[in-house]
Structure 1
Amino acid sequence: MTLGAQLAWDDTVLPFQLDQSGIRGRVARLDGVLEQVLKQHDYPPLIEALVAEAALLTALIGQAIKLRWKLSLQIRGNGPARLIATDYYGPQADGEPARIRAYASYDAEALDLTAQPFSQIGAGYLAVMLDQGEGMVPYQGFTPIAGGSLSACAETYFAQSEQIPTRFSLSFGQSTEPGRVSHWRGGGVMLQHMPQTGGVAAEGGSGEGGLLTHADILSGEASEDWNRANLLLDTVEEMELIGPTVAPTELLVRLFHEEGPRVFDAQPVRFGCSCSEDKVRNTMSIYSQKDIAKMTAAHGMVTADCQFCGAHYELDPKTLGFEGKNG
């Protein structure tokens, strides 16, 4: 594959369908997006890995939902990795890119840098939140932290909350391609069976703690189709997922050529943050001047930093709060 073709697939999500088995999916390739997300902070490697995995999941799930505005994932635990948060902003118009941002909050002193990243989350939950914009009721769904990876948690969420069999296969890490500076790359495949009628096939979940898994939902011919597609997905290699030498279309042919893969228009994805001075002012508008005074730094200004992109704001306290001159 030429460099031009490689770059054309970077930072895209490609929707596809397997016509022989009623299964849809997405192939994600994140290059510059992951690099920009992670360079905003000096995270330890295991926190970088959790953020990278969450960003890939967000790109795949966000593109699979017809969004008017925003999808958010939050992973909260009682371990040293306290919070991983991501946002996916749907494209504002046809042809425009979607935008992703992400950050992590963690206890640096409590982190076990030799441990598996997922183990540092501890007990907690993964939350999926949909904000469809003004006039729409926000949606929130939760699933326990279980299964050994964030991908497994997301699969459980779709099985428990949506009764939609879903699989993820992800790979991510530092790329050391010849002639290029070391940088982050990630890729993944998401499979989903078309929604079924008639309820869940299994009476109890086979997952950790009795949770439903993707394998518990289907029966009969649909189950056979799903299992076959999953066996094929299990043959994928990490470098095929990440690229850059294997195009997403070529990957689909390698994995699912007998299933009749059909692709649709790819969605470009970019790093993007929605923070602004106006939003900071709006957040401060609920406070009195007495409260604002407590937030004022020694140099006489109120400061605020965006956890996602690192933007720094310095505001005159006299213009803040519901009593401010511009409030």
Structure 2
Amino acid sequence: MDNISLPYKIENVSAHGRVVRLGSVINEILSRHDYPEAVSALLGEAVVLTAMLASSMKFEGRFVIQTQSDGPVSMLVCDARSDGSLRGYAKLDKEAFAALGESPTQQDMLGTGHIAFTIDQGPDMERYQGIVPLEDNLLSAALAYFDGSEQVQTHLKLTAMPLFRPGGDMEWRAGGIMIQQTALQGGSDMGRTSTHDDWVRMQTLMETTEPDELLDPELSPEQLVYRLYNEDGVRVFDVKDFSFNCGCSRTRIENMLNSFPVEDILSMQEEGQVTVTCEFCNEIYQFDAQLLKDVSIN
């Protein structure tokens, strides 16, 4: 089962979590760009993190994760909409990336900066945003976000990599698993000491999960969760489905261009054409500069 988020609860321990598995959706997102493999893997993990957090929230609109940093990958932008659509892209300095050599780490690629987690429910609703430093990798930044915003003990694993089908066809897959300590009712700390060993054991069990298990299309998320936690009584709930839908369109981009001053349109034209490339899906749109100019004047 692909392109889903599966919530689960461990009955005999105060813990719950999610498994995210992305197949065709992450392949569609990544294959539209010509990123180096390490950058695609980085973006793939960011999309998984976005899907995992978005599926754990109740909102109408968009949940956005955006990094800004001083490394060769100076920006990652991923968003999930409440209808389950996902998209993402990376801003890459190819020369700076090439200078990193082989097998760069996430810290090498990202450098230092910050990562913002934003819930945007439209102009009539208050926007929520949490910002944490980005100093190591996506995983450590995500854990810092959980620690600061939810104040819940969280353990998390993310992975993304290309898999090769018989015949040599390559496709990207990505996945992740999260476990959180369930908050006690009323915010009391009573019982925390007695459950600490159980919580450590839940984390240790989750750490045994191999990247291949998070990606394997022959191993369902339900089977993975059962394999990890069946001795403690694990229960799964309805899945959240995901799809790829960039959301861009010729009409939307044309309306945006028509709002620009004439001087801006003239500065963008080349041989009478204004060309716009969607950063998320890499679709190219071309417009007649004179027609845009006439609309802008009127």
- Fold equivalence (TM over 0.5): yes
Q: How far apart are residue 200 of structure 1 and its match?
A: 11
Question: Which residue, out of 212, 233, 252, partners 1:279?
Answer: 252
Query: Matched residue of 1:113: which SS?
Result: coil
- Looking at structure 2, the residues matched to 170 and 200 of structure 1 have their Cα atoms a distance apart, in angstroms, of 31
- Looking at structure 1, the residues matched to 10 and 130 of structure 2 have their Cα atoms a distance apart, in angstroms, of 28
Please give the residue correspondences for 1:184-223 in structure 2 after superposition, counting only pairs within 5 Å.
Answer: 184-196=172-184, 219-223=192-196
User: Which amino acid in the other structure matches residue 102 of structure 1?
Assistant: G
Contact 1:30 1:187 in 2 (8 A): yes
User: Which amino acid in the other structure matches residue 263 of structure 2?
Assistant: K
Query: Matched residue of 1:109: which SS?
Result: helix
- Looking at structure 1, the residues matched to 168 and 94 of structure 2 have their Cα atoms a distance apart, in angstroms, of 31
Please give the residue correspondences for 1:1-327 in structure 2 after superposition, counting only pairs within 5 Å.
Answer: 9-91=1-83, 98-111=84-97, 112-114=100-102, 115-146=104-135, 148-178=136-166, 181-196=169-184, 219-298=192-271, 300-318=272-290, 320=292, 324=296
Query: Matched residue of 2:175: which SS?
Result: strand
Contact 2:77 2:90 in 1 (8 A): yes
Q: TM-score, normalised by structure 2?
A: 0.90
Moved more, 15-24 or 102-111: 15-24
- Looking at structure 1, the residues matched to 187 and 95 of structure 2 have their Cα atoms a distance apart, in angstroms, of 47
Q: How far apart are residue 149 of structure 1 and its match?
A: 2.6
User: Which amino acid in the other structure matches residue 183 of structure 1?
Assistant: E
Contact 1:288 1:323 in 2 (8 A): no
Contact 1:287 1:321 in 2 (8 A): no
- Looking at structure 2, the residues matched to 322 and 143 of structure 1 have their Cα atoms a distance apart, in angstroms, of 45
Contact 1:302 1:316 in 2 (8 A): yes
1:132-158 deviation digits (Å, cap 9, x = unpaired): 134111121111113x43122111111
- Looking at structure 2, the residues matched to 77 and 241 of structure 1 have their Cα atoms a distance apart, in angstroms, of 28
- Looking at structure 2, the residues matched to 321 and 123 of structure 1 have their Cα atoms a distance apart, in angstroms, of 42
Moved more, 254-263 or 314-323: 314-323
Contact 1:174 1:185 in 2 (8 A): yes
Q: Identity of paired residues, percent?
A: 33
Q: How far apart are residue 178 of structure 1 and its match?
A: 3.5
Structure 2 alignment gaps of length 5 or more? none
Contact 1:273 1:308 in 2 (8 A): yes
- Looking at structure 2, the residues matched to 76 and 128 of structure 1 have their Cα atoms a distance apart, in angstroms, of 12
User: Which amino acid in the other structure matches residue 38 of structure 2?
Assistant: L
Please provide the CA RMSD for this pair.
Answer: 2.4
- Looking at structure 2, the residues matched to 156 and 87 of structure 1 have their Cα atoms a distance apart, in angstroms, of 20
Q: TM-score, normalised by structure 1?
A: 0.82
Q: Provide closer, same or farther for how the CA distance between residues 320 and 223 of structure 1 changes in structure 2, counting only shifts above 3 A.
A: farther
How many pairs align? 294
